[in-house]
Amino acid sequence: MRVLVIGGDGYCGWATALHLSNQGYEVGIFDSLVRRHWDGQLCVDTLTPIAPIQSRLQRWKDLTGKDIELFVGDLNDYPYLEKAMLQFQPEAVVHFGEQRSAPFSMIDREHAVLTQTNNVVGNLNLLYVLRDHFPDCHLVKLGTMGEYGTPNIDIEEGYITIEHNGRKDTLPYPKQPGSFYHLSKVHDSHNIHFACKIWGLRATDLNQGVVYGVLTEETGMDELLINRLDYDGVFGTALNRFCIQAAVGHPLTVYGNGSQTRAFLDIRDTVRCVEIAINNPANAGEFRVFNQFTEMFNVADLAMTVKKAGNSLGLDVEINHLENPRVEAEDHYFNAKNTSLLGLGLEPHYLSDSLIDSLLSFAMKYKGRVDKSQILPKVQWRR
């Protein structure tokens, strides 16, 4: 099967592109490389030294004999997107190609507008190419668990059946996102749902939790294939940040009291979930939603887990509770369903088994590259 991975130079996309290529799919990568540019603008860098995309792909070819076609372009450049898709002729498109940081989207008006324009318009362009040229192609779109927010009831997979004044309907699950970035994903979901309804497109929205880890079978094959691992206050995510903080002796940055709970998964499960979605396509006209995560943790418990693992490696790990820079509930109910992907065969990796191998050992190996001035959060939601 021919699969185009949009955002294939990024954290989830790179690991997924290599995994699919290794499994025998014909893979193409479409990426504007804008993420590398944003890192440069913010003066931040990944912990791990990532090679230019062309060198990465050449190394992959030398190692495995497998070719991954590269399209360097922007989803917002419609003529280029259309041309690339016509050249590649995808049977499935995996769409990771968005601005994905909540803090980045909350820096100021310009970053909120950039995030929503980049994400919503890019996704809309993709929907139009699919309508005009590939109506049967399966769109696998990366959404986020953060679309739901933290409601005081169980979170279902995309839809909820409601009885109201004696009538019953199954409706999209209510969305209460917590940043302009998370809102962009909600807008995408609505646009895809509508496109499936009116044009008969087939799509799967993968509402993914926070991803952790850096090692997959393929990215571990050679140092030139290494994946990015963000630790800065803008692009770094909770658990990855905690491990790198532990490695360099920086107190772990728990925001607020730390009882906010999120859904998490190992990057090795990200790549597998995408493969499962591709192998089990949505029906024509169907907008299907899977919640893509394996475990739920609150951030204070995560910090404690990292502290214990760090101690076992001889690290002296302190935990610090910072004033929360975000506007978010801390003490809240959180119970989300994730049975669809498990039902289709996902065999989860659990944090307790992978924290040291897939995270802490990398953090310790590359700790010399850490710029400690980039660790504390600088973006505030309130102003």
Binding site for ligand NAD (CB under 6 A): 7, 9-13, 31-35, 74-76, 96-100, 118, 122, 142, 144, 208, 210-211, 228, 237
For this structure, is 365 an active site residue?
no
Neighbours of 224 (CB within 10 A): 18
> Which residue out of 181, 212, 231, 255 is catalytically annotated?
181
Please choose which of ligand USQ, ligand NAD, none residue 34 contacts, taking the beta carbon within 5 to 8 angstroms, the exact cut-off set by kind.
Answer: ligand NAD
> Which residue out of 115, 144, 219, 270 is catalytically annotated?
144
Q: Closest separation between CB of residue 194 and ligand USQ, Å?
A: 22
Q: Closest separation between CB of residue 139 and ligand USQ, Å?
A: 18
Please choose which of ligand USQ, ligand NAD, none residue 102 contacts, taking the beta carbon within 5 to 8 angstroms, the exact cut-off set by kind.
Answer: ligand USQ
Segment (H or E) for 168:
strand 167-172
Contact residue for ligand USQ among 228, 262, 268, 288 (CB under 6 A): 262
Please choose which of ligand NAD, ligand USQ, none residue 370 contacts, taking the beta carbon within 5 to 8 angstroms, the exact cut-off set by kind.
Answer: none
Q: Does 146 bind ligand USQ (CB under 6 A)?
A: yes
Contact residue for ligand USQ among 53, 102, 271, 309 (CB under 6 A): 102
Q: Closest separation between CB of residue 343 and ligand USQ, Å?
A: 21
Q: Give dist(CA 225, CA 223) in Å, integer.
A: 5
Please choose which of ligand USQ, ligand NAD, none residue 142 contacts, taking the beta carbon within 5 to 8 angstroms, the exact cut-off set by kind.
Answer: ligand NAD
Residue with Cβ nearer ligand USQ (50 or 57): 50
Q: Give dist(CA 85, CA 93) in Å, integer.
A: 10
Give the CA angle between residues 277, 214, 36 to the nearest 5°.
90
Residue with Cβ nearer ligand USQ (84 or 317): 317
Helices assigned H by DSSP within the chain: 11-22, 34-42, 53-64, 78-88, 102-105, 109-116, 122-133, 180-199, 238-248, 267-279, 299-312, 339-343, 351-355, 361-365
Q: Does 149 bind ligand USQ (CB under 6 A)?
A: no
Q: Choose among 141, 169, 167, 145: nearest CA to 156.
A: 145
Residue with Cβ nearer ligand USQ (104 or 362): 104
Edge-to-edge strand ranges of the sheet holding 202-208:
69-72, 26-31, 2-6, 92-95, 138-144, 202-208, 287-292
Please choose which of ligand USQ, ligand NAD, none residue 255 contacts, taking the beta carbon within 5 to 8 angstroms, the exact cut-off set by kind.
Answer: ligand USQ
For this structure, is 181 an active site residue?
yes
Q: Does 111 bind ligand USQ (CB under 6 A)?
A: no
Q: Closest separation between CB of residue 32 and ligand NAD, Å?
A: 4
Give the CA angle between residues 228, 234, 239 to the nearest 5°.
60
CB 263 within 8 A of CB 297: no
* DSSP reduced 3-state for 263: strand
For this structure, is 185 an active site residue?
yes
Neighbours of 265 (CB within 10 A): 27
* DSSP reduced 3-state for 198: helix
Structure tokens at 344: 């289709």
Structure tokens at 60: 């992959």
Residue with Cβ nearer ligand USQ (92 or 252): 252
With CB under 6 A as the rule, give the number of residues binding ligand USQ: 20
* Residues near ligand USQ (CB under 6 A): 100-102, 144-146, 209-210, 237-238, 241, 253-255, 260, 262-263, 299, 326, 328
